[in-house]
Amino acid sequence: MSNKSPLLNIIFQSLNKISRNVVRDFGEIENLQVSPNSIERFVSKTENKIYSSLLEDLTKSRPDWGIKLDAYETSIKDKYYWIIDTLNGQFNFSHALPYFAISISVELNNEVISTVILDPLRDEIFFAEKGKGSFQNDRRIRVSRRNSINSSVFSIYHDIITKDDKITDNIFKPIYALASKNSSVTREFGSSALSFAWLASGKIDCLFAHNLNKNQIACGELLIKESGGYLTNLKYINAYKASGDLLIGANPTLHKDILKKINNKF
């Protein structure tokens, strides 16, 4: 995709402006030998710098557009919104684990029409526009072509805060059982945005995510759809309309098979 749209160029320029500073801050986290409170303040400062920079650039380019951040979900018809996730994988970042991302999406009439996910450490940028396919840097990407869940790579994402909650454990119990039964492996990476990107690019075969809000989902659904995959809840409702539910992402063959097995309890 050599000729990027003006909208994508705006997003790319905004992300490129902050990428080097985020990588530098991550390097400082690795070397910090201080209290958890000091690290928390440092990470919060990094997030604020990311948001301030993006807010300045995006509002300057499109002053009439709204901004969505965190769990804010209300939309006005016929109004464009920037959806910003400043540091997806904050826990990883704060512990010097190299798996986090920054994302910017554009919503119109409750539909995401453009999305970009930046992995600053690997200098990888994943993006999609409605009807134009998904890309990693300048290379077209597709979901995994695996046609059987046997020996698949399952990625699981759920909030660390609720990780030990009995309800959450019960939700993921069938998935671990399904993986075990089919000699598949499960991996928990700690960033929903990068897990979306890795599913869209075929690095993982299946993704299971629970309790995400719409703004967390925004960067992933279009990217996965444009790469040939599905991301829905157990009732086949598209993810962006099923925030908070258990979401399953995969290529069409695996997606159908997994939902059938889970809904039938194997």
Cβ-count burial of 182 within 10 angstroms (0-12 exposed, 13-18 middle, 19+ buried)? middle
Q: What pLDDT score was predicted for residue 4?
A: 84
What are the DSSP calls for 75-92, one per residue? --TT-EEEEEEEEETHHH
CA atoms within 13 A on the CB side of 81: 23
Q: What pLDDT score was predicted for residue 166?
A: 58
- pLDDT lower than 70: segments of the chain: 1-3, 33-34, 159-169, 265-266
pTM for the whole thing? Answer: 0.93
Q: What pLDDT score was predicted for residue 168?
A: 63
Q: What pLDDT score was predicted for residue 33?
A: 64
Q: What pLDDT score was predicted for residue 159?
A: 67
Q: What pLDDT score was predicted for residue 44?
A: 95
